[in-house]
Amino acid sequence: MLIDWFTILAQAINFMLLVWLMKRFLYKPILHAIDEREKRITKELADADTKRSEAEKERERFQKKNEDFDRHRDELLSKVNNEAKSERQRLLDEARQAADVLRTKRQDALKREQQSLNDEITRRTRREVFAIARKTLTDLSGTSLEEVISEVFIRRVRELNNETREDLATALKTSSEPVLVRSAFELPSEQRSAIQRALNEEFSIEIQVRFESTPEVISGIELTSNGRKVSWSIADYLTSLEESIDELLKEQSRPEVQSEAKAALKPESGTKSTALEEHK
């Protein structure tokens, strides 16, 4: 008999037992291991994806930051550059201005110095000339300088050219105030009457004269009436002297523009001299 029923039963039970054993020891653990591994791989892949995207984001953020930083730096640099330029310009301007001010000051100081020197020279010269003239005149004729000056003034009044004379006459006539005669010294009564007389004779009217002594009119006499003036003083001579000294000083201080200075000065001195000649 090929079929044994007990064996069939036993084998069926055996097989069921084997199924249970296999399930217990083989399929479950193996499938579990495979599932776990798959889960793990999936998780790792997901993690990697997350990390990659995070890294990407991070990279983008850093890139943006870098760009911002660069732009900011460039802006700052250009700003600083501009500021430095403007500051430099400002400092230069300031320095230039300061230099200009200094130069102007120095020039002014120089001018003032020159001026004061000139004034001093003029003053001294006048005094010297006055002293020399006084001494000379005294020595020569025994007359005082005041006397001579008065005479000269009178002569000048008498020798006035027609135009001036008419102008002065009109002024004298229209003036309500007395004619002012100023002199550097107190005129003696003789001279006063001489001047009065000369004026009366010259303009053929009775002229009220007021005498005044001021040191401004250096060694001279000055007649003023209603804006018209006739004068003689040693200052006229001294002005001429002053101009020549001026010229001399300028030539010394600017030798390189000597020729130009000369050219510029010549006509000026020329006119002055003609004016002086006229005065004389």
Partner 1 sequence: MRLSPDEIIFWQHGFLKLNATILFTWGLMLVLAVASKLITHRLSIGLKRSRWQNLLEIIVTAIEKQIEEVGLSQPRKYLGFLGTLFLFVGAASLCTVIPGYESPTGSLSTTAALALCVFVAVPLFGIWERGMGGYLTSYMKPTFIMLPFNIISELSRTLALAVRLFGNMMSGAMIIGILLTITPFLFPIVMTLLGLLTGMVQAYIFFILATVYIAAGTRVRKSTAEPKVNIEA
For residue 29, state whether it binds partner 1 (rule: CB under 8 A).
yes
Q: Which tokens in the block code for residue 271? A: 């006119």
Which residue number, 41 or 95, has a Cβ lying nearer to partner 1? 41
Q: Does 32 bind partner 1 (CB under 8 A)?
A: yes
Dihedral sign from CA coordinates of 27, 30, 32, 35: negative
Residue from 21, 76, 77, 275 touching partner 1 (CB under 8 A): that is 21
> Minimum Å distance from CB 35 to partner 1?
9
In the complex, minimum distance from the CB of residue 47 to partner 1, in angstroms, rounded to a whole number: 15
Binding to partner 1 in span 212-271, by CB under 8 A: none
Cβ 46 to partner 1, closest distance in Å? Answer: 16
Minimum CB distance to partner 1, residue 28 (Å)? 8
**Measured distance CA(198)–CA(151) in Å, rounded:** 10
Closer residue to partner 1, CB minimum distance, 7 or 200: 7
Rounded distance between C-alpha atoms, residue 203 and residue 170, angstroms: 10
- First CA to last CA across the chain, in angstroms? 186
Task: Confirm or reject binding of residue 16 to partner 1 (CB under 8 A).
Answer: yes
Interacting residues with partner 1 between 161 and 190 (CB under 8 A): none
Q: Which stretch binds partner 1 (CB under 8 A): 19-27, 62-70, 212-220, 236-244?
A: 19-27
Q: CB-based contacts of 179: which residues, under 8 Å, 6+ apart? A: 172, 199, 207, 208, 209, 210, 223, 224, 225
Least separation, in Å, of the C-beta of 40 and partner 1?
A: 6
Residue 94 makes contact with partner 1 by CB under 8 A? no
Comparison of 37 and 106: residue with beta carbon closer to partner 1: 37
Which residue among 17, 46, 77, 101 contacts partner 1 (CB under 8 A)?
A: 17
Within 34-93, the residues that bind partner 1 by CB under 8 A are: 34, 36-37, 40-41
Cβ nearer to partner 1, comparing 9 with 101 = 9
Binding status of residue 131 toward partner 1 by CB under 8 A: no
Contacts of 131 (CB under 8 A, 6+ apart): none
* 168 contact partners, CB below 8 Å, separation of at least 6: 160, 203, 225, 228, 230
Residues that bind partner 1 (CB under 8 A): 2-12, 14-19, 21-23, 25-27, 29-34, 36-37, 40-41
